[in-house]
């Protein structure tokens, strides 16, 4: 095994009463790709700062291989007194680093390099910070929420860039797709300690659930043991009790173990206050258009949104997603065309700009509007402490100023404010920003159970796939097209990823892909070949066998002790499941391609 580039041993850190980190171990070798997972407030960002050498722990040691270079991407970059974004990026270069690489990355990330850091958006700040850490080509990259404020084309570019590099990587992110595509190992920071597996994020959630289930079983056994020992203590013969001082001591130790057990953090209790049902038709837009000067934002766009629809809007930053939403909900009039809202619409909105909150106000004041101790939830009063607990805030945080909240806590606060208002139409602008994975799961469930209509803007591909029923995408020159299904379905229909260069240059995406695009109706008529027919008949059996193989190997990996008992068996099972999943994906893609071709031939 390669020696570690960076190693943290027995790291401990306490803020206030409860230890944030307790005996944490983390080791990263050359080329390793580790995702660092944990709840909001679990200490992930702090641990990454310790790894970067920016925070000194209370105890433990940090080792970095001599000569190894580390670059750390913070959630909120500090531009200091740099006058331009390029100057900020070049300041991160070391002796002998190539200044051309800095300019190249600035350009690749959609910046000119002349931007004033004091007057740039959150997305531009994030892209400049990424260019700064990538330009030196370090041995170790420590990335804290690298996809925050980035649009989908930039996220996909960043994925490709990181996949092409040989450096070691430790990444914190709430973006499931990003983590699944990049990680090869998972470090789970839970209740102050790290548990680690040599599998990427795609295997994490099933493994986590098994670990927690095993933990519950162990606690149940402990409870039973304590009950038995207490029964002995209560009803045992007095003389025997005196002689068994050691057994009595063991009982006290069991009680201490139970008392000091830190159970898993509960999930947020998200529920939207629902108003009476809206009419069947929620929004109807006919040939609407909007332009700012010579720039067309929306051109000749029509859509009918009905009750229960979940509409996702995606696209590069600056494409006009928020403008389109404002047109649809009637807060901004179109230059041309008509917008009609249905009957009995009660709307609740979540704005991505959290700066509108007074940073000096307290958490309770933000929820109650500064009036009393109750929040109006669905038109009924609920005590602010109870409502705070629904969104995983502790009672002691009632007087916490908003400026002291983490990004995830501010995200939960904005959700709490938006969901308190009775609604049958939810309009959510980047609702997933800074939310941990467990809260994202609960938000998805809430939206799935919500009986009203949802319009949301998001750059989270996995969230879109799980939630929306259709996706609206900009195609350039103010043209927007609606595709049925989630983000992945949209890509399958559209045939190409979102293209930042096309939108930036103002060209329609169709012009960029004209040479590739072939519509089904234009496809030449032909018959399926013998090989294609044979594949259509045999692929379902192949797919079934691969599913069975994956289930067989997963059963082995579900044993939490397998790694410790038989490392070779664990590695073989991991390799086998990875190979089977790759073959399954290829088989399913091929079958779908042939099935679509067969239907096109039959309908021609």
457 and 329, same domain (yes or no): yes
SS3 assignment, position 599 = helix
Gyration radius of the chain over CA positions:
27
Residues in the chain: 604
Element containing residue 225 per DSSP (H, E): helix 204-235
Written as one string, the DSSP assignment of 429-461 is: ESTTTT--HHHHHHHHHHHHH--SEEEEE---H
Identify whether the C-beta of residue 172 lies closer than 8 Å to the C-beta of residue 159: no
Q: How far apart are CA 464 and CA 485, in angstroms?
A: 9
Q: Is 321 annotated as a binding residue?
A: yes
Last residue of a domain, one of 483, 516, 549: 516
Identify whether the C-beta of residue 170 lies closer than 8 Å to the C-beta of residue 51: yes
Give 512's DSSP letter.
H
**Pairing relation of β-strands 70-73 and 140-144?**
parallel
270 lies in some domain: no
Residue numbers in the chain where pLDDT is lower than 70: 1, 16-17, 222, 225-271, 351-357, 378, 496-532, 603-604
pLDDT one-digit tens code per residue, 434-471: 777 877 887 888 888 888 999 999 989 999 998 899 99
Output the pLDDT for position 381: 84
Q: Is 318 annotated as a binding residue?
A: yes
Strand arrangement of the beta sheet that strand 470-476 belongs to:
347-350, 425-429, 453-457, 310-313, 470-476, 479-484
Q: Is 279 annotated as a binding residue?
A: no
226 and 336, same domain (yes or no): no
347 and 250, same domain (yes or no): no
Looking at the DSSP bridge assignments, the partners of residue 193 are: 190
Q: Is 40 annotated as a binding residue?
A: yes
313 lies in some domain: yes
- The greatest distance separating any two alpha carbons of the chain, rounded to the nearest whole angstrom, comes to 96
Give 469's DSSP letter.
S
Q: How far apart are the first and last CA of the chain?
A: 58
Q: Is 300 annotated as a binding residue?
A: no
Strand arrangement of the beta sheet that strand 295-306 belongs to:
295-306, 281-292, 336-341
Q: How far apart are CA 35 and CA 217, in angstroms?
A: 27
193 and 219, same domain (yes or no): no
Last residue of a domain, one of 447, 481, 516: 516
Identify whether the C-beta of residue 64 lies closer than 8 Å to the C-beta of residue 25: no
Q: How far apart are CA 427 and CA 405, in angstroms?
A: 24
Split into its structural domains, the chain has a count of 4
Q: Is 316 annotated as a binding residue?
A: yes
473 lies in some domain: yes
Q: The CATH number of the domain where 548 resides is what?
A: 1.10.287.380
304 and 399, same domain (yes or no): yes
393 and 466, same domain (yes or no): yes
Strand ranges, E, within 145-294: 168-172, 185-190, 193-197, 281-292
Element containing residue 237 per DSSP (H, E): none
Give 341's DSSP letter.
E
19 and 122, same domain (yes or no): yes
* Phi, psi for 214 (deg, rounded to 5): -65, -40
32 lies in some domain: yes
Q: Is 42 annotated as a binding residue?
A: yes
List all residues 6 or more positions away from 44 whose beta carbon is below 8 Å from its beta carbon. 36, 37, 38, 144, 172, 189
Q: Is 320 annotated as a binding residue?
A: yes
Q: Is 322 annotated as a binding residue?
A: yes
311 lies in some domain: yes
List all residues 6 or more positions away from 405 whose beta carbon is below 8 Å from its beta carbon. 363, 413
Q: How far apart are CA 415 and CA 410, in angstroms?
A: 9
Output the pLDDT for position 226: 64
Q: Is 80 annotated as a binding residue?
A: no
Q: Is 269 annotated as a binding residue?
A: no
Output the pLDDT for position 1: 58
Last residue of a domain, one of 478, 493, 516: 516
Output the pLDDT for position 519: 34
Residue whose pair of structure tokens reads 């803007």 in the numeric block: 457
The CB-side HSE value for 546 (13 A sphere, CA atoms) comes to 18
Residue 235 belongs to domain spanning = 214-259
Q: Is 112 annotated as a binding residue?
A: no
111 and 233, same domain (yes or no): no
Helix axes 99-108, 122-134, angle to 10 degrees: 150
Q: Is 29 annotated as a binding residue?
A: no
What distance lies between CA 86 and its chain's CA centroid?
A: 29
223 and 82, same domain (yes or no): no
271 lies in some domain: no
Looking at the DSSP bridge assignments, the partners of residue 340 are: 284
Q: Is 458 annotated as a binding residue?
A: no
487 and 341, same domain (yes or no): yes
273 lies in some domain: no
Token pair recorded at residue 24: 């944490």
Q: Is 51 exposed, middle or buried (0-12, 13-18, 19+ CB in 10 A)?
A: buried
Q: The CATH number of the domain where 70 resides is what?
A: 3.40.50.300
366 lies in some domain: yes
Output the pLDDT for position 529: 63
Output the pLDDT for position 392: 75
């Amino acid at each position: 095994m390669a020696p570690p580039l960076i190693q943290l041993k027995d790291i401990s850190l306490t803020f206030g009463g409860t230890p944030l980190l307790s005996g944490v171990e983390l080791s990263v070798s050359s080329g390793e790709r580790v995702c660092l997972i944990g709840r909001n407030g679990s200490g992930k960002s702090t641990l990454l700062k310790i790894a970067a050498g920016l925070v000194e722990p209370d105890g433990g040691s940090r080792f970095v291989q001599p000569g190894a270079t580390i670059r750390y991407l913070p959630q909120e970059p500090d531009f200091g007194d740099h006058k331009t974004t390029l100057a900020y990026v070049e300041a991160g270069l070391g002796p002998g680093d190539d200044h051309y690489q800095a300019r190249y990355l600035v350009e690749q990330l959609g910046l000119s390099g002349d931007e004033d850091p004091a007057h740039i958006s959150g997305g531009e700040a994030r892209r400049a910070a990424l260019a700064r850490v990538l330009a030196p080509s370090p041995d170790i990259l420590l990335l804290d929420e690298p996809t925050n404020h980035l649009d989908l084309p930039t996220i996909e570019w960043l994925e490709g860039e990181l996949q092409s590099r040989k450096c070691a990587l430790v990444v914190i992110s709430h973006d499931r797709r990003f983590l699944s595509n990049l990680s090869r190992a998972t470090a789970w920071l839970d209740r102050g300690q790290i548990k680690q597996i040599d599998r990427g994020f795609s295997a994490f959630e099933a493994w986590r659930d098994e670990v927690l289930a095993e933990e519950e079983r162990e606690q149940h056994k402990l409870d039973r043991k304590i009950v038995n020992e207490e029964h002995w203590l209560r009803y045992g013969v007095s003389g025997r009790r005196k002689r068994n001082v050691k057994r009595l001591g063991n009982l006290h130790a069991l009680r201490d173990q139970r008392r000091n057990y830190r159970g898993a953090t509960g999930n947020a209790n998200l529920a939207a206050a629902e108003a009476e049902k809206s009419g069947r038709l929620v929004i109807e837009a006919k040939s609407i258009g909007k332009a700012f000067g010579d720039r067309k934002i929306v051109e000749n766009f029509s859509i009918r949104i009905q009750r229960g629809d979940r509409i996702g809007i995606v696209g590069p930053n600056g494409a006009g997603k928020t403008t389109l939403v404002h047109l649809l909900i009637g807060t901004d009039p179109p230059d041309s065309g008509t917008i009609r809202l249905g009957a009995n619409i009660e709307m609740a909105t979540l704005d991505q700009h959290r700066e509108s909150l007074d940073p000096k106000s307290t958490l309770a004041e933000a929820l109650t509007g500064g009036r009393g101790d109750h929040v109006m939830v669905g038109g009924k009063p609920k005590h602010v402490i109870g409502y705070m607990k629904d969104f995983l805030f502790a009672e002691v945080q009632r007087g916490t100023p908003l400026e002291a909240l983490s990004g995830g806590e501010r995200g939960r606060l904005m959700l709490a404010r938006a969901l308190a208002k009775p609604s049958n139409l939810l309009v959510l602008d980047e609702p997933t920003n800074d939310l941990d994975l467990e809260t994202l799961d609960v938000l998805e469930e809430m939206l799935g159970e919500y009986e009203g209509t949802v319009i949301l803007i998001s750059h989270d591909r996995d969230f879109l796939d799980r939630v929306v029923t259709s996706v609206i995408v900009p195609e350039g020159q103010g043209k927007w097209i609606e595709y049925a299904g989630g983000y992945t379905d949209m890509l399958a229909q559209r045939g190409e990823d979102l293209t930042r260069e096309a939108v930036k240059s103002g060209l329609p995406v169709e012009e960029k892909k004209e040479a590739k695009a072939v519509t089904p109706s234009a496809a030449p008529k032909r018959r399926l070949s013998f090989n294609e027919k044979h594949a259509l008949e045999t692929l379902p059996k192949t797919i079934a066998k691969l599913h069975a193989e994956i289930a067989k190997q997963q059963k082995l990996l579900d044993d939490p002790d397998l790694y410790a008992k038989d490392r070779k068996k664990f590695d073989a099972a991991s390799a086998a499941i990875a190979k089977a999943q790759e073959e399954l994906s290829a088989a399913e893609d091929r079958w779908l391609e042939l099935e679509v071709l067969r239907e096109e031939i039959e309908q021609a």
